Amino acid sequence: MRIDILTLFPDMFKGVLDASILGRAVRNGLIEIHTHDIRDWADNKHRKADDEPFGGGAGLVMMIQPLFDCLSEVTGEDKGAKRILLTPRGKPLTTERARSFSKEERLILVCGHYEGVDERIMELIDEEISIGDYVLTGGELPAMVLIDSVARFIPGVLGCDSSTEEESFADGLLEYPQYTRPADFRGRTVPEVLLSGHAANIRIWRHEMARIKTKENRPDLFALLPPEPEKKRKNSRKKQD
């Protein structure tokens, strides 16, 4: 997949895209990332890219000209590229949207800064995406979040193929607690069942823990879960009333 990033702060992406799993994916050629400094397209000699909003109000708005020319040139004749604007008013980024973006050949991410971007850029945007209900200082961190969430669904980016399946949100549950060696850290022990080797009991325990955590932290998700099937009794015949 090719990802283009349009930003006033290309340096913000360096560390994130070079490090860890994302860095490895880039080095292995699974993802190709190009950052573009929107200021390079400004046709004024001060390289100005923001101005006061028409109609008044606080803050500055990103000017249409540098952004429009940058996005037009980066897109070129590529009709297949999906152009995404990161903005708190966008559709929420979800596992399903990340999975769907991962199937695209090319993403072009537009990072706004200041109070927002001149609305006329929407002529060149396919989708508006938000990473959550809070306001950041720019779209750069949201773009990194989107790239990371999408990259995980590109075959070969993660070591193990199944690791995107058994985690938070895949089944509507938050993650169950994980432990690794030592089994006793200064008196803090690991739940017995995980050391038992009893696969069925481990599955039941993890499922129950995931349900407890989901109920506690995300009652909104918990309410959407299917009802638990009635627990099997030792004596298979139901009690009569």
CB 83 within 8 A of CB 129: no
- What crossing angle do the helices spanning 140-151 and 20-27 adopt, rounded to 10°? 70
User: Judged by CB, which is closer to ligand 4HQ: 13, or 176?
Assistant: 13
Nearest of 112, 102, 115 to residue 71 by alpha carbon: 112
Q: Going residue by residue from 84 to 113, which x/- string records binding to ligand 4HQ, judged by CB under 6 A?
A: --xxx-----------------------xx
**Per CB under 6 A, 121 contacts ligand 4HQ:** no
List the one residue from 65, 75, 95, 130 that touches ligand 4HQ (CB under 6 A): 130
Q: What is the SS3 assignment for 105-126?
A: CEEEEEECECCCECHHHHHHCC
| Rounded Cα gap, residues 214 and 209, in angstroms | 9
Quick note: the x/- pattern for ligand 4HQ over 1-40, rule CB under 6 A, is ----------------------------------------
- Write out the binding residues for ligand 4HQ, residues 48-87 only, by CB under 6 A: 86-87
| Interaction between residue 135 and ligand 4HQ (CB under 6 A) | yes
Residue 110, burial from CB neighbour count under 10 angstroms (0-12, 13-18, 19+)? buried
Q: Which is nearer to ligand 4HQ, 125 or 212 (CB)?
A: 125
- Nearest Cα to Cα of residue 38 among 61, 5, 83: 5
Residues that bind ligand 4HQ (CB under 6 A): 86-88, 112-113, 116, 130-132, 134-136, 138-139, 142
